[in-house]
């Protein structure tokens, strides 16, 4: 099954290179994922293709107007199974949520810009306002790329080794263990002996221990969730 993702944006050229590179480019070429870029300016009736205006009530910045966004979404039937809007005030993007999105037939992402979009667009079309973190970006296009990549890599066939998904950060509420490669010794720093032992059970135990240590150290919130899962036997 091909996942269709529609990206509604003021800056379509932003996506040209990232969506043609690496695993994403291969996935698009093979048909695992189909990405449509919808240019909001194509649906502006202004002679200069203007899509923004000053906010009612005053304030700094500009707001993307409802008319071109409504036309862009409705003309392309870009409602999707899920309509997302990238916003710093949205709910945090999580691994659980991107997995849910990867099982959809289609997903649409509206890229916020300036001071955002007219609330009436959100009220009419948007299922989820999504934030990629507690910071502000210069445009929703950056966040849209993060969402697309996070979702796509959970689609069967996107990753050459699907088993690598199981041990990644945020799976089972734990962060990923440290990784090492050749050479075994570099500038006086050695690879842990257990990783050179060939004992797979000991390696698995070491990796699990390191996942717990790192999560407890840098993400105590996730560690609490992990402990709850252990107590509840999930």
pLDDT at 214 over 90: yes
Predicted confidence (pLDDT) per residue in 21-57, tens digit? 999 999 999 999 999 999 999 999 999 999 999 999 9
Residues with Cβ within 8 Å of residue 114, at least 6 apart in sequence: 52, 61, 62, 63, 64
Residue 182 pLDDT > 80, yes or no?
yes
pLDDT of residue 172: 82
Query: If you average pLDDT over residues 142-164, what whole number do you get?
Result: 90
> Given this model, what pLDDT does residue 80 score?
64
What is the rounded distance in angstroms from the CA atom of residue 162 to the CA atom of residue 129? 29
- The pLDDT tens digits for 85-137 are 999 999 999 999 999 999 999 999 999 999 999 999 999 999 999 999 999 99
Predicted pLDDT at 119: 97
Complete domains list, the chain, with CATH: 3-152 (3.40.1280.10), 166-232 (1.10.1270.20)
Query: What per-residue confidence (pLDDT) applies to 160?
Result: 77
What is the total residue count of the chain? 234
- Cβ atoms 148, 20 nearer than 8 A: no
Give the per-residue pLDDT at 171.
Answer: 73
Pairing of strands 82-92, 128-131: parallel
The confidence score (pLDDT) of residue 134 equals 94
- Does the pLDDT at position 67 exceed 70? yes
Question: Does residue 107 or residue 80 have the better pLDDT?
Answer: 107
Q: What percentage of residues in the chain have a pLDDT greater than 70?
A: 95
Is the peptide bond prior to 33 cis by the omega test (within 30 degrees of 0)? no
Global confidence as pTM:
0.88
Mean pLDDT of 134-148: 96
């Amino acid at each position: 099954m091909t996942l269709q993702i529609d990206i509604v944006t003021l800056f379509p050229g932003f996506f040209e290179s990232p969506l043609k590179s690496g695993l994403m480019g291969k996935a698009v070429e093979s048909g695992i994922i189909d990405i449509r870029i919808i240019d909001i300016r194509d649906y502006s009736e202004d002679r200069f293709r203007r899509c923004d205006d000053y906010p009612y009530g005053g304030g700094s910045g500009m707001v993307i107007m409802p008319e071109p966004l409504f036309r862009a979404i409705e003309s392309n039937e870009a409602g999707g199974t899920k309509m997302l809007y990238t916003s710093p005030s949205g709910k945090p993007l999580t691994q659980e949520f991107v997995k849910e999105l990867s099982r959809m037939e289609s997903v649409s992402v509206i890229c916020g810009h300036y001071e955002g979009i007219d609330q009436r667009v959100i009220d009419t079309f948007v299922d989820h306002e999504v934030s990629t973190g507690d910071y502000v970006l210069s445009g929703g296009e950056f966040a849209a790329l993060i969402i697309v990549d996070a979702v796509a890599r959970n689609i069967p066939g996107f990753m050459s080794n699907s088993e690598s998904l199981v041990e990644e950060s945020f799976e089972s509420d734990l962060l990923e263990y440290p990784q090492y490669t050749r050479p075994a010794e570099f500038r006086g720093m050695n690879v842990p002996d257990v990783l050179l032992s060939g004992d797979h059970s000991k390696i698995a135990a070491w990796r699990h221990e390191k996942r717990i240590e790192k999560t407890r150290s840098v993400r105590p919130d996730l560690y609490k969730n992990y402990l709850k899962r252990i107590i509840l036997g999930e």
